[in-house]
Amino acid sequence: EIVLTQSPGTLSLSPGERATLSCRASQSVSSSYLAWYQQKPGQAPRLLIYGASSRATGIPDRFSGSGSGTDFTLTISRLEPEDFAVYYCQQYGSSLLFTFGPGTKVDIK
Amino acid sequence: QVQLQESGPGLVKPSETLSLTCAVSGYSISSGYYWGWIRQPPGKGLEWIGSIYHSGSTYYNPSLKSRVTISVDTSKNQFSLKLSSVTAADTAVYYCARLRMTTVTYFDYWGQGTLVTVSS
What are the tens digits of pLDDT across the range A9-53? 999 999 999 999 999 999 999 999 999 999 999 999 999 999 999
From B36, which residue of chain A is nearest by alpha-carbon distance? A98
Please answer yes or no on whether B108 and A33 come within 8 Å at the CB atom.
no
CA distance readout (Å), A58 to A17, A95, B25 = 22, 32, 20
B59 at interface of A, judged by CB pairs closer than 8 A: yes
A63-76: strand order across its sheet = A4-7, A19-29, A63-76
Nearest to B68 by CA among B45, B51, B93: B51
Per-residue pLDDT, averaged over B102-107, amounts to 91
- Kindly state the average pLDDT of the residues B34-49: 97
